[in-house]
Chain A
Amino acid sequence: MDLVLISAAPFVLALALALPAVQGKLSKATQTLVSSLVMAALFVWLLSFLPRVQGQGAIVQTFEWAPSLGISLSFYLDGLSLLFGLIITGVGALIFFYAGYYFDAPAEYNRFMIWLSGFAGAMLSVVLSGNLLLMFVAWELTSVTSFVLIGFKGADDAEARAGAFKALFVTGGGALALIIGIIMLSVAAGQILYPDEGTRIAADLTDILRATSLAQHDWYTLFAILIMLGGFTKSAQFPFHFWLPGAMSAPTPASAYLHSATMVKAGIYLFARLSPVMYQNELWSSTLLTTGLLTMLVGAYFAVKQRDLKALLAYSTVSKLGAIVAMLGLPGQIGIKAALVGIIAHALYKSALFLVAGTIDHATGTRFIDKLGGLRQRMPAMFAVTVISALSMAGMPFLLGFVAKEVLLDAMLHYEGRWTALVMLVVLFSTAFTAMAAYMLIYDVFLKKPRQSIHFHQPPSLIRLGPLILSLLSLTLGFLLEPLIVPLLAPAVPKSFELHLFAGFNEVFFLSLGVLLAGFALFVVRKPLIARIGFPLSCDMIYDEMLEYIGWAGRSVLHTQSGFVRYYLVIILGAVSLVLIASGTLSTVTAGQSFIPRDLSLTITDLAKIFMLILTVTAGMLTVVVREHVKAAIAYGVIGYAIGVIFLIEHAPDVALVQLLVETMATVLIIIMLGRIRTRTRLNVIQSLWTGRHGYNLGLVRDLVISVTIGGAVFIFSLIALQSRPEQQSVAQWHLENARVVDTEDVVGAIVADFRGTDTLLEIAVFTTAALGVLTLLARGRQSGSAFVPRTAQVSSLHEFDEDVVDEIQDATSLSTPFTRTVSYIVLPIAILIGIEQILYGGIGPGDGFTAGVTIGLAISLWYIVLGYDEAKRQLPWFRPEIITRLGLVIAIVNAAIPILLGKGFMGHVQYDKVLGIYELVGAFGLHITSSLIFEIAIAITVMGGLGIIMEAIAYPAARSNGRRHSAEAVEATS
């Protein structure tokens, strides 16, 4: 449980910071203090695990999640994860504190901290997760949060956007390889550990670390390469390193935290984590070693050329990451100790240096080395921090960085393979350049005289705290190796080991000193040297080129997109028809089926049904052939009513009632909507509907062929379905027999409100969502007044066209006669009464919450039509559809939840009248107060509210909002 809490805590912090209450109420200083204290507390909490980790090894906490997929919510804490966890929380606490003084605007700070805390949570989850698939999820989360943080200033900084995209593109692409690698690895581990269980995904770390023969597995080459790809992209290894300098557009606290101390070490964590089962293969070690050394060289070499402080630090980070990867690749795991010491040392000095860069940026407004200089007097604290941290980076005795370099050189000296001399040369060369970069940081920024006067304002004094503590650690930890560092590393390193601040005047020591001196020599000749550094081809260029091609490919595909939605439908349905006909599916299905009805006998009811079906089909044809939209809408209404009658004949009175009401509503809705569309607009489409371009209408033929094919297929499908229907009713039998239990006469009502109540609950939620969709669509145009869909040229309404019935609705006054007013006044109370009756006695006869809601909704829509929007709004002040809908849904959910308290489960059936002891009393009125009754009420309220929302949105006079304004604009434009 503890580990879950630890990795969840930063997420909770992020959510808390996102609360409007926190944003408004708490000052920036308070937020800063709280968030860094949270991280500090997590640091202490993690530290308290140290004795247990030392004693018993890994702590594992597992919650089953999807065992069949091998995914578990599993947490794993051993020496390695503890080390990373401590860096994440410890450095995190200092950087969180720093960020509070780095940002001046509270809102900006708050937005930044939400994402930074989210990142901290994701990163902690990466190192604490005990399941590779879970780790992958967290891994991706770090990429996403990193994307947002790099692009933090993206709203007005194209470079930040490009950098963020580049980082996501590279790390995300690597993650694709990684997930495949992880799955293959897990399956391989499953084969090794559970040979008898078929395909089993063993993604838990406990399993994988037991599968020691993974290095001999057949798939090893494939999954090792995929996993290494994932790690290389994340940890900015050559040739993927270029995203890291690009990521420097992030605010400096994020660069310090994500892009030097934590996230870029995720790949290293992955390698170290899997090293025990992977290292025995030559492929693993040689790839890691080669890539690491190359990265180390490239990073160190190009670092000194950078003029931007942060870019310099980024390249030197790349170099150090390469060194660590190379250490992990040394055969026989001899480099693990050096890698881990390197990780600690680097996290401390590099984040301190980044924070210095941020502070300088904050104080002077620039990060360019050429513009800077002489900051020693103005920023003495920053100068001290830089001296300590940069020298630690260079490996000056007796700082922590010195220890790191000593063990690195020592491990390299122990490397016995081919090319040992070359390897050593690369390492010495890179470390010399790193030392040179360190001297440049100290001299060029703080000591040398600036070329021009620079703007300077003193940053807040507390901004110094984080960097000072970090550099103090770099300074002192070297002397505290035995008491602090060794116990921390001991559980993470496979063999017993020692660490010495000063191991004597051995060859490592002299090499180390030599590198420092060589670095100084390079520093002295830096001006001519830097001018020569360069390479005609950079990975950035290749990346840009590649992006160009991807863009080109995308645009080429886009050419096939006409933008006409109708043609997409033609292609989709046309393809379906083609497949149906060409593949012979139709003939296969129909084989052995007779299409000529064998039994030609018809009863009287059958004749009635057939009459109604003919009516339906005829009306359907009419909707196609009539020219006027109003007539088509009315024909559509006929279809609805005819189907309603069929429902009635088919002994489905409830369905028939709902169908009749809803179809009325739908027809009314179409006609109202027609009134919102200008006559001219509709006439245009009617006129062009049947005319082809070349005298004949090829499109018409095409549409006819497609729809006849689809209709034919549906006909065959439904005929087969109807003919091979099972004789007996299926589950329905049970419902019929048990409806009495819930005190309902109407079995359909019992199913809707009780047996399948959860379905209904979801259905009314869907209905409400649809209603809200209508509201959003139409209200947006209404309030903002600005087009959110681009507008083409507007044609103002002209009078030369014939007007039709719909114009009546466009102007509500023509409908508002004394008679219609009286009717609508009378209808509403009656409708409400009918609604109440249907709810209360819906159990006995047809009707239920749905019909009640639709009935009342219909009466209200009559008001909107007859009285017009404004008048109806004024006269029905209590009718606030948004609130009514909310009320209905809340009642429904509360009513569904109460049975849980009574031990009957979600949506359980409760007889409240029996619970309250009034069963006899209300029973005398033929009533049963049950949870289904309350649910019916909730359904009615929700449906009524939803209809109200739709009605209001559609009946809102368009002419008053955009229509008229646009026409006015158009008139202005034309005149």
Chain B
Amino acid sequence: MIEFMFALAIGILFGIGVFQLLRRDLIKAAIGFAILFSAINLFFVAVGAFEGDFAPYVSNVEAGRSTSDPLIQALILTAIVVSFGSFSLVLGFVNIISRRYDTVDSNDINKLKH
């Protein structure tokens, strides 16, 4: 049941992210971009963290408790920081576009092909 809920949430978030990217508003597109990242991170943690009932600490392991998957957590951990980096890059693009074109409407920007 909880798998179903997770998958549904991931699917909806992904759809929202794609929808935002497709719309004209660049600021909302940036937010949609970030939502895509969140959806992917959520997917990974959903895949990996189910097994255990305890945090992956050595003391928990030695006490014989089943822990969640530490590898996936380590991957998400760095992924979060990197996705923040690329998100800020996107924001930088939006920022400079708004300065140059005085618009954040992607329909007003078609000079990129030249």
Contact B101 A791 (CB under 8 A): yes
Q: Point out the residue from B25, B45, B78 that lies within 8 Å of A759, measured CB to CB.
A: B78
Q: How many Å lie between the Cα of A706 and that of B22 in the bound state?
A: 9
Bitwise, B1-30 to A at CB < 8 A (1) or not (0) is: 111111111111111101111111111101
A 918-969 contacts with B by CB, 8 A: 943, 946, 950, 953-954, 958, 962-963, 966
In whole Å, how far is B2's beta carbon from the nearest beta carbon of chain A?
5
Q: How many Å lie between the Cα of A339 and that of B14 in the bound state?
A: 68
Q: Point out the residue from A678, A771, A850 that lies within 8 Å of B102, measured CB to CB.
A: A678
Q: How many Å lie between the Cα of A794 and that of B113 in the bound state?
A: 20
B 64-86 contacts with A by CB, 8 A: 67-82, 84-86
* Highest count of chain A CB atoms <10 Å: which of B34, B39, B57: B57
In whole Å, how far is A527's beta carbon from the nearest beta carbon of chain B?
52
Which of chain A's residues has its CB closest to B22's CB?
Answer: A703
Q: How many Å lie between the Cα of A750 and that of B56 in the bound state?
A: 11
User: Size of chain B's interface in residues, with CB distance under 8 A?
Assistant: 100
Contact A707 B2 (CB under 8 A): no
Which of chain A's residues has its CB closest to B51's CB?
Answer: A729
Instruction: Give every chain B residue within 8 A of A958 (Cβ-Cβ).
Output: 95, 99
Contact B81 A767 (CB under 8 A): yes
Q: Point out the residue from B42, B56, B72, B108 that lies within 8 Å of A736, measured CB to CB.
A: B56
Contact A719 B3 (CB under 8 A): yes
Q: Point out the residue from B12, B41, B51, B96 that lies within 8 Å of A620, measured CB to CB.
A: B12
Instruction: Give every chain A residue within 8 A of B86 (Cβ-Cβ).
Output: 770
Q: Given A666-B84, A774-B89, are A747 and B57 neighbors across the interface (CB < 8 Å)?
A: yes
Q: A276 in the interface, Cβ–Cβ < 8 Å?
A: no
Q: A613 in the interface, Cβ–Cβ < 8 Å?
A: yes
Instruction: Give every chain B residue within 8 A of A297 (Cβ-Cβ).
Output: none
Q: Point out the residue from B21, B27, B58 that lies within 8 Å of A747, measured CB to CB.
A: B58
Contact A722 B12 (CB under 8 A): no
In whole Å, how far is A243's beta carbon from the nearest beta carbon of chain B?
30
Instruction: Give every chain A residue within 8 A of B15 (Cβ-Cβ).
Output: 707-708, 710-712, 714
Q: How many Å lie between the Cα of A600 and that of B5 in the bound state?
A: 11
Q: How many Å lie between the Cα of A84 and that of B35 in the bound state?
A: 62
Which of chain A's residues has its CB closest to B30's CB?
Answer: A670
Contact A647 B18 (CB under 8 A): no
Contact B78 A770 (CB under 8 A): no
Q: Which of A63-71, A183-191, A566-574, A580-588 contacts B (4 or more CB under 8 A)?
A: A566-574
Q: Given A650-B45, A677-B98, A718-B10, are A602 and B19 neighbors across the interface (CB < 8 Å)?
A: no
Q: How many Å lie between the Cα of A750 and that of B91 in the bound state?
A: 33
Instruction: Give every chain A residue within 8 A of B11 (Cβ-Cβ).
Output: 711-712, 714-716, 718
Q: A428 in the interface, Cβ–Cβ < 8 Å?
A: no
Q: A629 in the interface, Cβ–Cβ < 8 Å?
A: yes
Contact A620 B82 (CB under 8 A): no
* Highest count of chain B CB atoms <10 Å: which of A565, A569, A689, A740: A565
Q: How many Å lie between the Cα of A735 and that of B48 in the bound state?
A: 14
* Highest count of chain B CB atoms <10 Å: which of A561, A655, A774, A781: A655
Instruction: Give every chain A residue within 8 A of B84 (Cβ-Cβ).
Output: 662, 665-666, 767
Closest 4 CB pairs of A and B: A711-B15, A715-B11, A770-B85, A563-B110
What are 5 A-to-B residue pairs whose CB atoms are below 8 Å?
A606-B2, A653-B55, A732-B48, A763-B82, A846-B55
Q: A718-B43, A732-B69 given. 4 additional CB < 8 A pairs?
A: A609-B6, A677-B98, A681-B98, A736-B56
